[in-house]
Amino acid sequence: MPAVITAPVISVSELRKHYGEVKAVDGVSFEVGRGEVFGLLGPNGAGKTTTIEVLEGLSKPDAGTLSVLGLDPTRHAGQLKERIGVQLQTAALYPNLTVTELITLFGRFYDHARPTKQLLAEFGLDERSRGLTKELSGGQRQRLSVALAMVNDPELIFLDEPTTGLDPQARHSLWEQIEALRGQGRTVLLTTHYMEEAERLCDRVAVMDHGRILEIGTVAELVGRHFTERSVRFTKRDELSDAQLAGLPGVHRVAHENSETVLYTPDVPATVGALLDLGDQLGVAALDIAIRRPTLEDVFLELTGRALRD
């Protein structure tokens, strides 16, 4: 055991929240450490937003023990709100205020606020500072929304599906902003249903479905826990018979997907080496080999039996 254990920034135990008959959150437990970017990953309706809103002090839990920055969000919501940054799933901006006016307005709600100019520069909103928020593009709106969450210089930031509905360029730009937050040592809890986003941004991920957490870990851990095999794939060549391929070292299974042959193996170097040798022997030139490791998408499919974005 290390001598000094930093208390987790967020600690949730057996959280439950019901809306009538619907068990939106049904016994969720996890911890988030200081400086960590933690992702709640799951499809719509998995309970991600409900969980995050209870932690933000926006709604009350039915049961469970909560601690956020050492405070109980149900009892010390006021104190907590001073120290956290919140971005809601929908941007929630006054349509007829300018970017500068809105950032300055939000600053006035806190004891300590960062200068508006600094935030405009940091989130690339300088050029639109005098524009009304209703005239912003989707990407600019999301950046403004995150900038508003940063007004009070928070230690902990909640981002609820920050890049949903953005085009790829805007999404990448926002990812850079979120990576910068991690660089500043802030703790981030984000929800997403994009695998790529979770894989790129999150130190650890909790996979949620139907109000429960199915697995928690780093992306590599989650994948490794469920899949020991990688797939080696190449365009199908008639010279290579399935029987020959199945006999290569490490190969557990041979499959065909569309025009591709797929070999499943836990030992990629041995399999690929033998495959190239076999090709040489048979005079099959230029095999276009691709190696793919399973992704969170595959983990999700494995855990729930369905794809994430159904």
Partner 1 sequence: MSGLMRGLWPLTLANVRSFYRDRSALFWTFAFPILFVILFGYLFSGSPSNFDVGWADQDGTPAAAALRQGFAQVPLLTLHEVAEADALNQMRDGTLDAVIVVPAGLGGALQPGAPPPTTPFSLTVYTDPSQQTASSTVAQVVAQVVGGINQGLSGRPPSLAVDSRPLQTQGLSNAAYFVPSILAMALMQLGVFAAIPLTAQREKLILKRLNATPLSRATLVASNVFTRLIIALFQTLIIVGIGAMLFGVTIVGSPLVALGLVVLGAMTFLSIGYLIASYARTEDTANSLASVVQFPLMFLSGIFFPIDFMPEWLRPVASVMPLTYLGDALRQVMVGGAAYAPLGIDVLVLGGWLIVSFLISARFFRWQ
Residue numbers of the site for partner 1 (CB under 8 A)?
Answer: 56-58, 78, 81-82, 86, 88, 90, 92-97, 101-102, 104-106, 108-111, 132, 148
Instruction: Give the residue carrying structure tokens 């001598």.
Output: 3
Distance CA 284, CA 304 (A): 40
Distance CA 264, CA 266 (A): 7
Taking the complex as a whole, the smallest distance from the CB of residue 69 to partner 1 amounts, in Å, to 14
**Which is closer to partner 1, CB of 92 or CB of 255?**
92
Taking the complex as a whole, the smallest distance from the CB of residue 58 to partner 1 amounts, in Å, to 6
Taking the complex as a whole, the smallest distance from the CB of residue 60 to partner 1 amounts, in Å, to 13
**Of 303, 295, 306, the residue nearest 199 (C-alpha):** 295
**Which is closer to partner 1, CB of 95 or CB of 183?**
95
Distance CA 90, CA 302 (A): 30
Taking the complex as a whole, the smallest distance from the CB of residue 238 to partner 1 amounts, in Å, to 59
Q: How many CB atoms lie within 10 A of CB 225?
A: 12
Distance CA 300, CA 226 (A): 10
**Which is closer to partner 1, CB of 52 or CB of 205?**
52
Distance CA 171, CA 284 (A): 42
**Which is closer to partner 1, CB of 13 or CB of 89?**
89
CA distances (Å), origin 292, targets 232, 263, 266, 268:
7, 11, 12, 10
Taking the complex as a whole, the smallest distance from the CB of residue 300 to partner 1 amounts, in Å, to 28
**Which is closer to partner 1, CB of 90 or CB of 228?**
90
Taking the complex as a whole, the smallest distance from the CB of residue 194 to partner 1 amounts, in Å, to 21
**Of 216, 174, 181, the residue nearest 39 (C-alpha):** 216
**Which is closer to partner 1, CB of 99 or CB of 263?**
99
